[in-house]
Amino acid sequence: MTPEQEVREKGALAKQAAAELAHASTALKNEALLAMADALCERQEYILEANREDVQQARENKVSEPLIDRLMLNEDRIRSMAGGLRQVADLPDPVGEIVQGWRRPNGLEIRQVRVPIGVIGLIYESRPNVTVDAAGLCVKAGNAVILRGGSDAINSNRALTNVIATAAEGVGLPKGTIQLIQSTDRAAARALMRANEYLDLLIPRGGAGLIQAVIQNATVPVVETGVGNCHVFVDASADLKMAEAIVLNAKTQRPGVCNAMETLLVHQEIAAEFLPAVGARLQQAGVELRGCPRTHELLPEAKPATEADWDEEYLALILAVKVVDSLEEAIAHINRHGTKHSEAIITRDLNHARTFTKEVDAAAVYVNVSTRFTDGFEFGLGAEIGISTQKLHARGPMGLRELTTYKYIIYGEGQIRT
């Protein structure tokens, strides 16, 4: 079977499944989610064995440790995925929700009602937990999903999809609800990007190269997600102990993810006190620093930053550092170089906090909080299918409501238009 044939066959099956899922009861969808969660725990050794093959291959290919961390599964991560499914089962079902309703002077009763999108495609890299998160959210929102993960996680994704799809079908969801494109040929991804007959929405998750390739080549509707050149700005009035803890967390807690900090901005009034202290802790944690000339004066061990560093999503233990003269300069830098993902200010000045939140253009804007919280689970959404950095139709972590659309239902008593 060619990659194109696989996409067509699975697309047709998903379209048929989506028609049934649109009318599935909340009870049935929740039963499926709980069965999927139980199956993950019951089959964890099968899943881990498949994941070990992927990790071994990644190490042989000299993949960096942060990227291997994104790929690796363990018992805790499988339990976390199962917990995410159970949390989604506990969330209110958005399907059928009346968004708003009104009565027209001519007696028409108009209601705007949430409905599933239909068939959702997902093209993603490395992180096999995305397989489960995406499937769970799609099931609860009444959508069929076609998954196309990266070749580096193919064994993990096959095992995960087999486990959760079998569990979902076992309690009565239609065949084709959850499917994985088995082909790792790029032709399969291209075919998915142009599967207008079958897909209602395509979501890319991965690095800038993947996302731009999908945006430029897809003919199906796309939500742009994920690239995170995130900043933390330490204001002149910041609590420096708090700022130090947030900076360390935002950079080092898990550097290979899109909500990790990539650039640190420091107000010139506190740079001489703050940068040597936080710089020492960052270097102890293995972070390579790349700084502007004023940063280099305070941290001689920092490498000189180039203009390209201000735009880089490192996904590694590398941090660009810049000293700025004002709040306004920090905001201008962020709006010029940021990717509209997650930005933070550390300050005790309420007016500065308000200005920052109003003027910074990003999906998530934080005051005295690490950027690492931009996450569907942390936001109470159960999980996320991606973090949208665009403005239509969703922005930020995409949970259940972002996986629905709406239609108008109109009731009348024989009205005709004159």
pLDDT band, residue 53 (cuts 50/70/90) = very high
For 75-103, how does the pLDDT look when each residue is reduced to its tens digit (9 = 90+)?
A: 999 999 999 999 999 999 999 999 999 99
Three-state SS for 211-256 is HHHHHHHCCCCECCECCCCEEEEECCCCCHHHHHHHHHHHHHCCCC
Q: Where are the beta strands (DSSP E) in 83-149?
A: 98-103, 109-116, 119-124, 144-148
User: What DSSP character marks residue 92?
Assistant: P
Contact 199, 146 (CB under 8 A): yes
pLDDT at 69: 87
pLDDT at 221: 96
Q: Map residue 314 onto helix, strand or coil.
A: coil
pTM of the model: 0.88
pLDDT of 383 higher than 80:
no
Contact 296, 240 (CB under 8 A): no
Quick one: 372 exposed, middle or buried, by C-beta within 10 A (0-12, 13-18, 19+)? buried
Q: Map residue 149 onto helix, strand or coil.
A: coil
Q: What are phi and psi of 190, to 5 degrees?
A: -65, -40
Domains of the chain with CATH codes = 3-223+398-411 (3.40.605.10), 230-373 (3.40.309.10)
Name which of 286, 285, 314, 280 is nearest 300 in CA terms: 280
pLDDT at 127: 86
For 14-38, how does the pLDDT look when each residue is reduced to its tens digit (9 = 90+)?
A: 999 999 999 999 999 999 999 999 9
Which tokens sit at 36? Answer: 């999927």
For 303-355, how does the pLDDT look when each residue is reduced to its tens digit (9 = 90+)?
A: 999 999 999 999 899 999 999 999 999 999 999 999 999 999 999 999 999 99
pLDDT band, residue 396 (cuts 50/70/90) = very high
